[in-house]
């Protein structure tokens, strides 16, 4: 038996929805907390399965963990340097942040190869090169990494690609290294700034976050603190697209609009009507007379790769041909075949897709092949005629906090139930 999300399409959405804390910040903030010598409390934590997996890993390390809704308290006072080789590591790509955090704290870490959604090659060689530059020796055997250093020494590190994961991971290791570390060609995503803000509150000395050159002066001790997570710009973007596709008047609260400038400008180019009011955006949805647009994913502040799949669904409703070029995860097009089952006309090329619109979508049984594919299919189900059943919903639950409930409060007809595996 497996769970499906079922959506009856064609119901217009109205009302207000509040965006949760950022998934991509949360999954780094929680491992970062183990660098502290005292309790760390984090607020605004999204209720997603990735947080449950991270809590299991913390407990394996003998940290005390309390999760209460959107609040997590992590006490690493009695933490031990224990190999992370359980199945929980395999379920979660972001478990790799324990590499940097534990290397920084203990100068040693043993960890299984991390898991997560398959989006094509996602090597962690940039992370490993950074650790080696700081003085770590790395061995790999039986799907397990062993990183060891007598001492971590600050140095200059140039990233061949402005990788969010590598930027954060090297930062985690460098805050407890001796001397000064400079990360050049660093990524600039808001989630990196959020992690640096937590580390700074703990006593780390970090400058230049949000630019392409981050400087870290190593310290011997980090203390406990409190921290509130920034809103999730990808969830916010997903709901902007949902409201544009299926809404009449939808108010989306707890947004930092400047984090979404690339998407907002594309939606306006398509003809979507909206008002930005402080930390809220009001969308006046209408699928009629939407214009086709071309999208090219780029690192922040460019168009987010995590939003190209959800936006593709909306582009099926635009009058004409739209083109998507993917420069981050070149195999991120599995959603296209699923959307085509629902009546879309999408041709997939090399790291690109052509969406021919507008096409009427109809309900079908489709598969969430990864997290953002799942979001694209939810949007399709909301605007399709008839009933859509989405399988592999665990991908969606990894990154969207209570998406069913949030949509139901807006007027969507959504349910979950078990089906026999075919």
CA dist., res. 333 & res. 349, Å (int): 9
- The H-or-E segment that residue 246 falls in is helix 233-246
> What is the reported pLDDT for 254?
97
Cα-Cα end-to-end distance for the chain: 9
Over residues 362-380, the mean pLDDT reads 97
pLDDT band at 148 (very low <50, low <70, confident <90, very high): very high
- Tens-digit pLDDT profile for residues 73-93: 999 999 999 999 887 777 777
The CATH number assigned to the domain holding 65 equals 3.65.10.10
How far, CA to CA in Å, does 118 sit from each of 76, 115, 191, 322?
A: 32, 8, 21, 25
Q: Does residue 337 contact residue 372 with C-beta atoms inside 8 Å?
A: no
Same domain, 77 and 94: yes
- Tens-digit pLDDT profile for residues 318-331: 999 999 999 998 88
The domain total for the chain is 2
Over residues 280-284, the mean pLDDT reads 97
Look at residue 49 and tell me whether its pLDDT is greater than 60: yes
24 labelled ligand-binding: yes
- Tens-digit pLDDT profile for residues 345-363: 999 999 999 999 899 999 9
Domain housing 336: 2-20+231-419
Question: What letter does residue 344 receive in the DSSP assignment?
Answer: -
Q: 63, 117, 336, 373: which is the annotated catalytic residue?
A: 117
Same domain, 208 and 276: no
CA dist., res. 356 & res. 206, Å (int): 47
**CA dihedral sign of residues 279, 284, 287, 292:** negative
Same domain, 313 and 267: yes
Same domain, 68 and 111: yes
Please tell me the chain's helix, strand, coil percentages from 3-state DSSP, rounded to the nearest 5.
Answer: 35, 30, 35
- Tens-digit pLDDT profile for residues 228-238: 999 999 999 99
CA dist., res. 134 & res. 255, Å (int): 37
Domain finish residue from 180, 213, 228 = 228
295 labelled ligand-binding: no
- Which of 365, 376, 367 shows the shortest CA–CA distance to 399? 376
Question: What letter does residue 33 receive in the DSSP assignment?
Answer: G
- Tens-digit pLDDT profile for residues 300-318: 999 999 999 999 999 999 9
Strands 137-141 and 71-75: unpaired
Same domain, 176 and 287: no
125 labelled ligand-binding: yes
CA dist., res. 195 & res. 234, Å (int): 17
**CA dihedral sign of residues 375, 376, 382, 387:** negative
Same domain, 222 and 281: no
310 labelled ligand-binding: no
Give the total residue count for the chain: 422
Same domain, 395 and 291: yes
CA dist., res. 26 & res. 116, Å (int): 15
- The H-or-E segment that residue 226 falls in is strand 225-228
Could you give the 3-state DSSP secondary structure of residue 165? Answer: helix
- Which of 86, 408, 30 shows the shortest CA–CA distance to 229? 30
- Mean pLDDT, all residues of the chain: 94
CA dist., res. 366 & res. 33, Å (int): 38
- Percentage of residues in the chain with pLDDT exceeding 90? 86
- Which of 393, 392, 379 shows the shortest CA–CA distance to 342? 379
> What is the reported pLDDT for 119?
47
Same domain, 328 and 240: yes
> What is the reported pLDDT for 86?
81
- Tens-digit pLDDT profile for residues 16-41: 999 999 999 999 999 999 999 999 99
Same domain, 58 and 140: yes
> What is the reported pLDDT for 377?
98
Token pair for 253: 């609260």
Question: How many C-beta neighbours within 10 Å does residue 207 have?
Answer: 13
Domain finish residue from 188, 209, 228 = 228
- Tens-digit pLDDT profile for residues 243-278: 999 999 999 999 999 999 999 999 999 999 999 999
Look at residue 117 and tell me whether its pLDDT is greater than 50: no
Same domain, 163 and 218: yes
CA dist., res. 16 & res. 407, Å (int): 10
275 labelled ligand-binding: no
Look at residue 118 and tell me whether its pLDDT is greater than 60: no
257 labelled ligand-binding: no
23 labelled ligand-binding: yes
> What is the reported pLDDT for 123?
65
The label of the residue with tokens 């299991």 reads 56
> What is the reported pLDDT for 287?
65
- Tens-digit pLDDT profile for residues 217-229: 999 999 999 999 9
Lowest average pLDDT, out of 122-126, 183-187, 203-207, goes to 122-126
Strand partners of residue 226:
41
User: Any idea what the Cα angle at residue 9 is, between residues 284 and 337, rounded to 5°?
Assistant: 100
Same domain, 186 and 255: no
Q: Does residue 234 contact residue 50 with C-beta atoms inside 8 Å?
A: no
Look at residue 166 and tell me whether its pLDDT is greater than 80: yes
The label of the residue with tokens 């990233």 reads 159
Q: Rounded to two decimals, what is the model's pTM?
A: 0.91
How far, CA to CA in Å, does 416 sit from each of 2, 19, 341, 386, 398?
A: 10, 22, 21, 16, 16
Domain finish residue from 183, 210, 228 = 228
Same domain, 252 and 356: yes
Catalytic status, residue 117: yes
CA dist., res. 404 & res. 411, Å (int): 11
- Which of 162, 167, 104, 113 shows the shortest CA–CA distance to 136? 104
123 labelled ligand-binding: yes
Over residues 396-409, the mean pLDDT reads 93
Helices of type H across 179-219:
190-201
Strands 352-357 and 64-68: unpaired
CA dist., res. 183 & res. 206, Å (int): 11
């Amino acid at each position: 038996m497996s769970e499906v999300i079922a959506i009856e399409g064609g119901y217009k959405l109205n009302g207000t929805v509040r965006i949760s804390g950022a998934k991509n910040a949360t999954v780094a903030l929680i491992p970062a907390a183990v660098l502290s010598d005292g309790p760390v409390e984090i607020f605004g934590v999204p209720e997603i399965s990735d947080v449950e997996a991270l809590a299991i890993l913390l407990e394996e390390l003998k940290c005390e963990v309390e999760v209460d809704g959107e609040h997590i308290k992590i006490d690493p006072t009695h933490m031990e340097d224990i190999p992370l080789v359980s199945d929980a590591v395999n379920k979660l790509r972001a478990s790799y942040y324990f590499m940097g955090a534990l290397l920084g704290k203990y100068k040693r870490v043993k960890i299984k190869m991390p898991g997560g959604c398959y989006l094509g090659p996602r090597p962690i060689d940039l992370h490993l090169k950074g650790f080696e530059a700081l003085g770590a020796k790395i061995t790999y055997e039986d799907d397990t990494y062993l990183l060891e250093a007598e001492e971590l020494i600050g140095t200059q590190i140039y990233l061949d690609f402005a990788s969010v994961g590598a930027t954060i991971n090297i930062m985690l290791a460098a805050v407890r290294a001796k001397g000064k570390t400079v990360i050049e060609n660093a990524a600039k995503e808001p989630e990196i700034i959020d992690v640096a803000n937590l580390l700074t509150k703990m006593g780390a000395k970090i400058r230049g976050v949000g630019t392409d050159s981050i400087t870290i002066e190593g310290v011997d001790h980090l203390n406990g603190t409190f921290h509130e997570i920034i809103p999730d710009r990808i969830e916010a973007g997903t709901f902007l697209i949902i409201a544009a596709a299926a809404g009449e008047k939808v108010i989306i609260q707890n947004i930092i609009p400047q984090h979404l400038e690339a998407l907002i400008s594309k939606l306006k180019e398509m003809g979507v009507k909206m008002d930005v009011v402080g930390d809220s955006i009001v969308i006046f949805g209408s699928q009629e007379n939407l214009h086709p647009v071309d999208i090219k994913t780029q690192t922040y502040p460019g168009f987010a790769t995590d939003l190209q799949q959800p936006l593709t669904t909306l582009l099926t409703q635009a009058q004409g041909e739209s083109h998507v070029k993917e420069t981050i995860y070149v195999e991120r097009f599995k959603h296209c075949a699923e959307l085509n089952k629902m009546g879309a006309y999408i041709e997939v090329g090399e790291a690109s897709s052509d969406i021919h619109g507008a096409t009427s979508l109809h309900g079908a049984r489709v598969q969430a092949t990864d997290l953002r594919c799942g979001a694209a299919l939810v949007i399709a189900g909301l605007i399709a005629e008839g009933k859509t059943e989405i399988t592999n919903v665990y991908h969606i639950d990894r990154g969207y906090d209570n998406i069913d409930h949030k949509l139901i409060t807006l007027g969507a007809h959504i349910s979950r139930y078990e089906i026999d595996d075919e």
